[in-house]
Amino acid sequence: MERLRELLLEPDKAIAMPVSGKTDAAVLIPLYDDPQRGLVAVLTERRHDLRKHAGEISFPGGRRDPGEDLVTTALREAEEEIGLDRNGVQLMGALAPTGTMVTRYRVYPFVGVIEPGQTWAPHEWEVAKVLELPLLELRRGRQWRPLLQYKLPVPTVSFLIDGHLVWGATARMMDQLLRRLDPVLAKE
């Protein structure tokens, strides 16, 4: 797991990178090591009755509160959305920030290691379910294709795993994570 630190950006350097958008947000990419499945990422499936991003797969996260630093935002949001105790997260690094096209968020992703076997407490108003998806399977499910159902007529990165479609900003962050962790994943 310590090898992850070498492959990820330092949080301060990632925060200083330019990114388009007008509202700051942060997500946590919780990872754990499973002896059978390798590195596993924790994501959420948003409720299907939400006004924005209904039914989409995303990392736990959200908008930064006034006076809050971005790492705290990511940890707070993960605690609120899936019940992940922030004290049980070992921050390993960050990814380059990602801008969202429609909502105009500047999303800062932070990667943390957690213990396997967590008991999740999904926020009843936001999260339909918590997903634990192995990085190797996500890498195999990577696709570049148009997503006409989401009005994306040009090929874009997406991931299809166990019937779950990861697309948009989450897919771009996942793609960046997989590319950075390729030296570790290649050995699994």
Structure confidence by residue, pLDDT tens digits, 128-162: 899 999 999 999 999 988 676 666 677 789 899 98
CATH architecture of 2-134: Alpha-Beta Complex (3.90)
DSSP class of 35: T
| Predicted pLDDT at 156 | 83
| Predicted pLDDT at 162 | 87
Nearest to 110 by CA among 46, 176, 160: 176
Domain locations along the chain: 2-134
Q: Is the pLDDT of residue 47 over 80?
A: no
Q: Which residue has the tokens 């990861």?
A: 166
Side chain identity at residue 115, one-letter code: E
Nearest to 63 by CA among 10, 120, 22: 22
Longest pairwise C-alpha distance within the chain: 42
- Reported as type and span, the H/E element at residue 166 is strand 164-166
